[in-house]
Amino acid sequence: MVQGTLEKLAEIRRGDLSAVENVSSLLEKIKKLDRKINSFIEINPNALTEAEAVDRKIKKGERAGKLAGLAIGIKSNINVAGLRATCASRTLQDYVSPYDAEVIRRIRGEDGIIIGMNNMDEFACGSSGESSAFGPTDNPAAPGHIPGGSSSGSAAAIAAGLCDICLGSDTGGSIRNPASHCGIVGLKPTYGLVPRQGLIDLGMSLDQIGPLSADVSGTVVMLETIAGRSDNECIMLNVDKVSYSEKLQNDDLKGLRVGVSEKFAELTDPAIIKVIDRGIEKLRELGAEIVAIDLPNLERGLYAYYLIVSVEFFSGTRKFDGRKYGKKIEEVCGEEVLRRIMRGRYISQKEYRGKFYQRALQVRTLIKRELMAAFEKVDVIAGPTVPKLPHRIGSKLTPMEMYAYDYLTVPANLAGICAGVIKAGEISGIPVGLQIQGRVLGELEVLKVMKALEATE
């Protein structure tokens, strides 16, 4: 059985396993395995030095942080001082971060060790992990298949056991999609719960940083570390910190109302639905009440999302003009990045804003209202994460076929709610993740369901 996050933390705190030993063994594993997986763009050359400092702290009897000695992988669109935040693009391939993002500062404050920067879809524009300028990432749980995106390297690194916890970002499913394909745990927190300062935006009204890990405990301890208001950011919820660990001791779901929608089955491969239905039946056996809910406009969210994110991405990339950050983005970026820039430029024109962008915002409001109405009846919503199985790396898909991976994940971003993913089963050896969506600041209920399911494995 694979060692759990809390068990490893306890060993490090007791001195049975040093931070140096932990980081060293993972660095060796990366050296051995990652040439094929390609989950890292860069390794932190100071990781062992930072681990030594944690060991000295523990030996002196000083307080060890929540993440003491754990090796943390960081998606390459989050600034880590001294390491490159490339966004997996030639545009920023030489950009060395001059500062730590707020979430990195908090990780360091809890004695987490940044082991390296994870590969990703270029500028987070992708659902497969294939569009990186540094090459595609393989899926350790289903070799030869995509790991999902855009947090591809983060999910693959966890699935391969190359680090303890990773940070990803989720704009339309970029944590949950690869968590499902790689058979791990991932969580998109409520919008505004985790600081975004230091994240290189894809869509500023949609982006949220969140954890990926091998177990629910790893996700919990990371979320407890990074969540909470920051004085350097204006769009944040009025939450100073979060604490879930002590409230997740009981796996009984008695009285919890779980919403399910027929719309999920309409959009999803029947084989995936069979696996998801078994997961929902487990929730019933654990005491949850299964409640039918109506989400009539769910699929419209995909079209609204891609219009909104293209406009926000176009605006955000105007700073990459080649004068300060290296190369001009339009001159060196990949096909999907350029497609979104061109789409965003077109929609942003005055004569088209009303026809496309404003209507997309209206649909966003509609999706949010439908989800809020559902949450008046239920505590969480359970269903599939992605509507189809991951394709083989290198397969030719149309843009719409690629975007279709996001049908079931974008509504949570449009509404600003939280959503987590946990493995529900497999189809021909390929993992399938169950998505649990919660209301705004409903992370405790989402984590409670995920923890209860994990205990049944």
Say whether 160 sits in a helix, a strand or coil.
coil
The C-alpha atoms of residue 344 and residue 269 are separated, in whole angstroms, by 31
- Give the long-range contacts of residues 15-22, CB within 8 A, separation 24 or more: 15/58, 15/59, 17/69, 18/51, 18/55, 18/69, 19/51, 19/52, 19/54, 19/55, 19/58, 19/68, 19/69, 19/111, 19/113, 20/48, 20/51, 20/52, 20/55, 22/51, 22/69, 22/70, 22/71, 22/164
Cis peptide before 39 (omega within 30 of 0): no
Q: Are 454 and 215 in contact (CB under 8 A)?
A: yes
Closest CA to 219 of 85, 67, 39, 69: 67
Closest CA to 260 of 205, 310, 221, 298: 298
Catalytic residue (choose from 18, 39, 66, 75):
75
Would residue 348 show up in a list of annotated catalytic residues for this protein? Answer: no
Q: Are 194 and 202 in contact (CB under 8 A)?
A: no
Catalytic residue (choose from 89, 132, 150, 217):
150
Residue 442: left if φ>0, alpha if ψ -120 to 50, beta else—which one? alpha
Say whether 35 sits in a helix, a strand or coil.
helix
Dump the DSSP string for 333-375. --HHHHHHHHHHHHHHSHHHIIIIIIHHHHHHHHHHHHHHHHT
303 burial class (0-12, 13-18, 19+ CB within 10 angstroms)? middle
Quickly tell me which residue has 């998801």 as its tokens: 276
Would residue 174 show up in a list of annotated catalytic residues for this protein? Answer: yes
Closest CA to 386 of 123, 173, 73, 159: 173
Would residue 75 show up in a list of annotated catalytic residues for this protein? Answer: yes
Catalytic residue (choose from 152, 154, 174, 213):
174
Tokens of 283: 């929730």
Q: Are 405 and 173 in contact (CB under 8 A)?
A: yes
Question: Helices 300-316 and 335-348: crossing angle, nearest 10°?
Answer: 90
The C-alpha atoms of residue 395 and residue 286 are separated, in whole angstroms, by 40
Active site residues: 75, 150, 174
